[in-house]
Amino acid sequence: MSTVDTWDPARYERFAAERAAPFHDLLSLVGPVPGGRVVDLGCGSGELTAQLHRRLEAAETLGLDSSPAMLERASELPGDGLRFAQGDIASFDEGGWDVVFSNAALHWLPDQEELLERLVATLNPGGQLAVQMPANHDHPSHVVAAEVAAAEPFRAALDGYRRESPVREPEWYAALLDRLGLTPQHVRLQVYLHHLPARDQVVEWVRGTLLTDYQARMPEELFTEFLTAYRERLLPRLEDARPYPYPFKRLLFWGRRGGS
């Protein structure tokens, strides 16, 4: 995990409606747990966690995030069983949950197998795991970020680091959930087609998420250069259409732990 907090809630929320759609699709897979305990891993600024809490009729919902800036936004939401805490998903192993939920956060964790084994172990019998992660790493918006990171002077500043998505194929998750005793299960890859005003808005979109990783690893002036290089390489590879249709693949999965 990056030690510098480069998450910017205002930038992230610029595309709030587009980013909320997969959250609602994921939520619709989860059964209510009246009086139950829910955790939202990588909860961000917390508005969606509050919706999750109400929709699932939970007695207690914990939103966990490592970013102080994101949690600052959430500071006015707690109450009525909803609370937030700063913490790292990489070491999360507190048990006793009826739902472990995570929207657009687990792709920041490198070892998906170890992660999911650990999260399933925190579920109560009959508990549900629901996860959504971006799987758009073959789109130019992501490919070009890796190309720029591999070019000087960024390569030296990053000490050769390039972000590689740890997200695997849908069938890999289906097999893993089965092995971990999550039956029934639901696994799917879904394409969300976002209409952005113009192609340069893709830069803004990616800056709010993927590029935060590079931003955290280099001085501010160099990151400004990185953004310029990224824009120069990326835009010619995108159709100059208004609105620009930005296809974004996401993996959604849900499963229920046996034994209830």
Ligand X SMILES: C[S@@+](CC[C@H](N)C(=O)[O-])C[C@H]1O[C@@H](n2cnc3c(N)ncnc32)[C@H](O)[C@@H]1O
Sheet strands (E) in 29-122 = 37-41, 60-65, 82-86, 97-103
Q: Is the peptide bond before 243 cis (omega within 30 degrees of 0)?
A: yes
Region of 28-36, 50-58, 62-70, 239-247 interacting with ligand X (CB under 6 A)? 62-70
Residue 98's Cα: distance from chain center in Å?
Answer: 21
Q: Would you call 195 helix, strand, or coil by DSSP?
A: strand
Residue nearest to ligand X (CB): 44
Query: Applying CB under 6 A, does 1 fall inside the site for ligand X?
Result: yes
* Nearest-approach distance from CB 195 to ligand X, in angstroms: 20
* Nearest-approach distance from CB 257 to ligand X, in angstroms: 22
Binding track over 202-241 against ligand X, x by CB under 6 A = -------x--------------------------------
Query: Applying CB under 6 A, does 123 fall inside the site for ligand X?
Result: no
Query: Applying CB under 6 A, does 77 fall inside the site for ligand X?
Result: no
- Distance between start and end Cα atoms, the chain: 35
**Joined tokens for residue 1:** 């995990």
CA–CA separation, 191 and 175 (whole Å): 22
Cβ contact 245:193 at 8 Å: yes
Question: Which residue, 1 or 241, has its beta carbon nearer to ligand X?
Answer: 1
Question: Which residue, 88 or 111, has its beta carbon nearer to ligand X?
Answer: 88
Binding residues vs ligand X (CB under 6 A): 1, 7, 19, 23, 42-44, 48, 65-67, 70, 88-90, 103-105, 108-109, 209
